[in-house]
Amino acid sequence: MHKISSFLILGLIVSVLSSCDKRISTKNNDHGFDISAIDSTVLPCDDFDQFANGMWKKNTQIPSTESSWGAFEILYKANEEKQKGILDGLLKNKNHKKGSNEQLIADYYRAFLDTISVEKRKTAPLDPYFIEIDKAASYSDLLKFYGKMPNIDNFFNFYVDADQKDTKTNIFTIVQSGLALGDREYYLSSSADMENIRKEYKKHIFKMHRLLGMDSLKAVVATNSIYNLEAKLASFHKPKELMRDPIATYNKRTIAELKALTPNINWDKYFEGIGKTPKAVVIDNLDLFAKMNATVNTIPLADWKAYFKWQLLVATAGNLNKELDKENFHFFRTIKMGIAVQKPRDERALRNTNRTMGEPFGKLFVEKYFPASSKKKIGEMIENLRIVYKERVDKLDWMSDSTKVAAKTKLDAFTYKIGFPDKWKDYSKVDIQADKLFENVMAMAKYDSDFQISKIDKPVDKSEWGMTPQEVNAYYNPMNNEVVFPAGILQPPFYNPNADDAINYGAIMAVIGHEFTHGFDDQGSQFGPDGNLNDWWSAVDKVKFGERTGKMVAHYNKFEVLPNLFVNGEFTQGENIADQGGLILAYYALLKSVEGKPEPKLIDGFTYKQRFFLGWAQVWRDKTNDEALKQLIASDPHSPPKARINAAVSNLQEFYDAWGCKGGKMFVPVNDRAIVW
């Protein structure tokens, strides 16, 4: 599931939003568009985002508990309000059947709010793990410990998903990992911002160790050990742009080959830890393993121990006593993301329960809030988009007939999922107790990890979901060649059954088009109809495709997010291709829907073609603080919201025509426009 391309960054929405803010209604008129958001002092051809959303931005403040605020956060918050209602009902009963979804959700939530137990136990929940780490006599012993641990990091981590060259079978995939700051840039970049984060990070490591009860001298030693180990590791990581290449990151090795590649790493111990030895593995960054093999024994055992303890602490600090929780928030949320105030405990309890109990909670959510009519309507929209995509392929002037046939074969093979899974995961054996927050967190992480391990070398279960039903997001999974739309996003302003069609097409239809286009972006285009890595392109067409994606990279590289901070066009190209494709496909689907009918009338003074683009802009209305923007640029494969509006529409002649633009600040000369699909 880790190759999936989502509509926005996975997990981000979960970690950055929510608040006690009450502005959750978007004063939408009957047509689905918030007319009061428009800033008519700005020309659409100069800055479409400001035109469509300017007054909303002027009247909106990012809540102090958030790093950003916009349509996604507002809808996510609305979903949470609904879930809170479900939860309140569950909390009235103290005797839910052990292992039932109701018991799991209610007791997980209760444990988060049981701050008396949390404070009383302080850091004691860490003890059994720290003792085991201390007992290790070698790095090999630590590898076994690491294998058993569900939620900490080493220089590598793993997931189990379809083998890219045999998508019917799961394979154990080992990926570069182990940087608590998230991306190598944080350790290597010479920018003043990154230097500051490094300085603050070291202070943070030191403080956390002091809070664990360590004396200053030892805390300094631990800080240096941990930081230096991560920095060394960062220098072995490949840049994120290079990790996008599905072929370069597919290095299948038998276990014998893995051992020959890295004789200094005791894989037997590691697999003993996870409880299973795979038949083969895929390695995403061979170079990292070669370098770690040469390095692993030069790092003192004490440093490795400090590092593993730190990884566990980073993963769990939010579930420990107040001092650790506060310091963890201070660094990772305030310093790194600019969030001033931590949310009240009850809101965090809901958020954490929702995140950790995603499927059980989602099941109750869709039973109450997802109408069957939405499923039917979205299914029809998906089929319409498939037809329009095929017509669009036929019209491409740069692609040869043989590649067109192959592209349409792939389009025919697309499958889809809407709303929620047909088959729910069984959590009934997980032991969740109302006064054991830390143990609950570990138990759920262990469940997820064991679930992955149980899939090793087994046939792929195509019914599995990579998101929870209540998420405000969507994804494409190239190995299943499927598009997936959780119930959470199938609501206003993305999909409003009562709204003007043009708004819905600019919103949810463009989302559907976005996910379809992921099947044909720089990564997805390398996978065939059955999900296998498979080159179905003629050599000439591939060169032409590369010229177009190259323009896309150049176009977004020019987008300035903050003074001297630009979008990383290479890293974000898949998402940018998907935005451009999604918009154009949805636009022509809208035109097709009115074929043979009288032209839709003006609404609020706008043509239906103009309303289409307003629908898109409304979905991406957003305010994000500078710190969070910097983090997005460093680690999110999506462009920031303003670019998703302005950089995307400025590629399209259809946009210029709809708004009568002959020039304007956003205007891009025809030859520089990046149109792939």
> Measured from the CB of residue 573, what is the shortest distance to Zn ion in angstroms?
11
> What token pair was written down for 320?
């420990």
Count CB atoms within 10 A of the CB of residue 138: 13
* 212 scored as a contact of Zn ion (CB under 5 A): no
Q: Are 149 and 141 in contact (CB under 8 A)?
A: no
* 517 scored as a contact of Zn ion (CB under 5 A): no
> Measured from the CB of residue 518, what is the shortest distance to Zn ion in angstroms?
6
- Residue 93 host element (H or E): none
Residue whose CB is less far from Zn ion, 460 or 578? 578
> Measured from the CB of residue 556, what is the shortest distance to Zn ion in angstroms?
14
> Measured from the CB of residue 530, what is the shortest distance to Zn ion in angstroms?
22
What is the tally of helices (H) and strands (E) in the chain? 29, 12
> Measured from the CB of residue 640, what is the shortest distance to Zn ion in angstroms?
14
Stretch that binds Zn ion, among 92-100, 186-194, 327-335, 577-585 (CB under 5 A): 577-585
* 5 scored as a contact of Zn ion (CB under 5 A): yes
Residue whose CB is less far from Zn ion, 142 or 511? 511
Q: How far apart are CA 486 and CA 181, in angstroms?
A: 30
Stretch that binds Zn ion, among 330-338, 477-485, 565-573, 578-586 (CB under 5 A): 578-586
Residue whose CB is less far from Zn ion, 305 or 638? 638
Q: How far apart are CA 52 and CA 658, in angstroms?
A: 14
Q: Are 141 and 327 in contact (CB under 8 A)?
A: no
Which residue type does 393 have? V
**CA separation, residue 196 to residues 192, 200, 243 (Å):** 6, 6, 26
Residue whose CB is less far from Zn ion, 9 or 221? 9
CB-count burial class (<10 Å; 0-12, 13-18, 19+) for 35: middle
Count CB atoms within 10 A of the CB of residue 179: 18
Instruction: Name the E strands within 543-653.
Output: 560-562, 565-566, 622-624
Stretch that binds Zn ion, among 75-83, 310-318, 424-432, 574-582 (CB under 5 A): 574-582
Count CB atoms within 10 A of the CB of residue 675: 17
DSSP 392-412: HHHH-SSS-HHHHHHHHHHHH
Stretch that binds Zn ion, among 7-15, 45-53, 170-178, 249-257 (CB under 5 A): 7-15
403 phi/psi in degrees, rounded to 5: -70, -35
Residue whose CB is less far from Zn ion, 7 or 369? 7
The 652-671 site mask, x for binding Zn ion (CB under 5 A), equals --------------------
Q: Which residue shows structure tokens 């959590």?
A: 427
CB-count burial class (<10 Å; 0-12, 13-18, 19+) for 104: buried
> Measured from the CB of residue 654, what is the shortest distance to Zn ion in angstroms?
21
> Measured from the CB of residue 466, what is the shortest distance to Zn ion in angstroms?
13
Residue whose CB is less far from Zn ion, 284 or 515? 515
Stretch that binds Zn ion, among 22-30, 292-300, 432-440, 575-583 (CB under 5 A): 575-583
Count, residues near Zn ion per rule CB under 5 A: 4
Q: Are 284 and 243 in contact (CB under 8 A)?
A: yes
Q: How far apart are CA 424 and CA 420, in angstroms?
A: 9
Residue whose CB is less far from Zn ion, 318 or 574? 574
Among 578, 643, 645, 652, binds Zn ion (CB under 5 A): 578
Q: Please, what is the end-to-end C-alpha distance for the chain in angstroms?
A: 26
Residue whose CB is less far from Zn ion, 33 or 465? 465
Q: 91 by DSSP, 3-state: which?
A: helix
Stretch that binds Zn ion, among 200-208, 383-391, 419-427, 573-581 (CB under 5 A): 573-581
Query: For residues 14-53, which are near Zn ion according to CB under 5 A?
Result: none
Q: How far apart are CA 186 and CA 179, in angstroms?
A: 9
* 577 scored as a contact of Zn ion (CB under 5 A): no
Q: How far apart are CA 143 and CA 156, in angstroms?
A: 11
Stretch that binds Zn ion, among 2-10, 292-300, 366-374, 478-486 (CB under 5 A): 2-10
> Measured from the CB of residue 578, what is the shortest distance to Zn ion in angstroms?
5
* 525 scored as a contact of Zn ion (CB under 5 A): no
HEC readout, 230-296: HHHHHHHCCCCCHHHCCCCCCEEEEHHHHHHHCCCCCHHHHHHHHCCCCCEEEECCHHHHHHHHHHH
* 473 scored as a contact of Zn ion (CB under 5 A): no
Residue whose CB is less far from Zn ion, 418 or 577? 577
> Measured from the CB of residue 6, what is the shortest distance to Zn ion in angstroms?
5
Geometric angle at alpha carbon 120, from 115 and 125, rounded to 5°? 95
Stretch that binds Zn ion, among 40-48, 235-243, 353-361, 569-577 (CB under 5 A): 569-577
Q: What size, in residues, is the chain?
A: 677
> Measured from the CB of residue 490, what is the shortest distance to Zn ion in angstroms?
17
Residue whose CB is less far from Zn ion, 68 or 572? 572
Stretch that binds Zn ion, among 87-95, 310-318, 576-584, 658-666 (CB under 5 A): 576-584
Stretch that binds Zn ion, among 195-203, 229-237, 348-356, 571-579 (CB under 5 A): 571-579
Assess whether the previous peptide bond of 493 is cis (omega < 30° from 0): yes
Stretch that binds Zn ion, among 137-145, 150-158, 233-241, 572-580 (CB under 5 A): 572-580
Instruction: Name the E strands within 16-55.
Output: none
Residue whose CB is less far from Zn ion, 321 or 639? 639
Residue whose CB is less far from Zn ion, 171 or 676? 676
The residues, ordered by sequence, that sit 6+ positions from 230 with a Cβ below 8 Å of its Cβ are 178, 179, 180, 181, 187, 307
> Measured from the CB of residue 5, what is the shortest distance to Zn ion in angstroms?
5
Residue whose CB is less far from Zn ion, 5 or 532? 5
Residues contributing to the site for Zn ion (CB under 5 A): 5, 7, 575, 578
